[in-house]
């Protein structure tokens, strides 16, 4: 399946787009150091000067890939984290509302991960950057990991009745975050083990969201999510 990125530049030329798509695949396959500007130019069918013209060089191109993919998802991420923050503020220590917050979190995460199927190569780049943190680690941490971990920590602290600054809350949040990342990195294993040929369907996404909600709920100390939480969401809670 071809990868289609939508660069933040509202008027990207065909050449710029082709360089982005080609370099995403090459960087994922060979790593940043394993790919030269000449390799990218040859694979994209452009001259070497085009990379410098559009991106200022290989490092600029690499950063643009990350910024582009993150920007594609930014509006949905912002909306979902804002809804979850609002719900956590309302919930206080109300366990039914906290369970509803878990449902909102799981549904949003799985929906976004499923929608990222077109950017399959980016998952490889992400794994490389987290395994050997480089310049772009701070970008990934600031725009995705840090805000999500903050919300997971608030959820855990409320569920366990501890301070959000406690080691328990922060460590639990990080372990849950690791399970979420596993849905990105280990997707081929999940599909193979579950026999999900053809990838995600709406039914599979719904099942995965429910299962993830139960796993998170148990991990933070709420127990299994149940009908009360789902009823609250269906009756108009923020999504």
Closest by Cα among 104, 59, 82, 63 to 216: 104
Q: Cβ contacts of residue 232 below 8 Å, gap of 6+?
A: 96, 97, 100
What ranges do the domains of the chain cover?
Answer: 69-234
Dump pLDDT digits (tens) for 45-58: 999 999 999 999 99
Quote the CA–CA distance of 225 and 100 in Å, as a whole number.
8
| Token pair in block for residue 170 | 């922060």
Dump pLDDT digits (tens) for 155-213: 999 999 999 999 999 999 999 999 999 888 888 899 999 999 888 899 999 999 999 99
Q: Cβ contacts of residue 148 below 8 Å, gap of 6+?
A: 81, 177, 180
- Rg, Å, the chain Cα set: 20
Q: What is the CATH number of domain 69-234?
A: 1.10.357.10
Dump pLDDT digits (tens) for 61-85: 999 999 998 998 899 999 999 999 9
CB neighbourhood size of 198 (10 A)? 7
pTM: 0.81
């Amino acid at each position: 399946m071809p990868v289609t990125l939508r660069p933040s530049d509202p008027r990207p030329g065909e050449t710029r787009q082709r360089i982005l798509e080609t370099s995403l695949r090459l960087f994922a396959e060979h790593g940043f150091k394993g790919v030269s500007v000449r390799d990218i130019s040859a694979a994209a069918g452009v001259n070497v000067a085009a990379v410098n013209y559009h991106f200022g060089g290989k490092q600029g191109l690499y950063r643009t890939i990350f910024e582009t993919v993150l920007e594609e998802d930014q509006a949905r991420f912002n909306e979902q984290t804002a809804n979850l923050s609002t719900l956590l503020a309302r919930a206080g220590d109300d366990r039914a509302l906290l369970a509803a917050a878990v449902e909102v979190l799981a549904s949003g995460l799985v929906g976004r991960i499923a929608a990222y199927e077109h950017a399959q190569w980016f998952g490889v780049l992400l794994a490389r950057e987290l395994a050997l943190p480089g310049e772009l680690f701070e970008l990934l941490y600031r725009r995705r990991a840090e805000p999500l971990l903050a919300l997971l920590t608030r959820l855990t602290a409320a569920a366990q009745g501890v301070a959000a600054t406690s080691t328990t809350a922060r460590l639990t949040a990080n372990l849950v975050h690791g399970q979420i990342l596993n849905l990105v990195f280990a997707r081929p294993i999940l599909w193979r083990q579950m026999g999900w040929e053809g990838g995600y369907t709406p039914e599979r996404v719904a099942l995965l969201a429910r299962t993830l909600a139960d796993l998170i709920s148990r991990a933070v100390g709420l127990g299994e999510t149940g009908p009360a939480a789902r009823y609250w969401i269906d009756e108009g809670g923020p999504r």
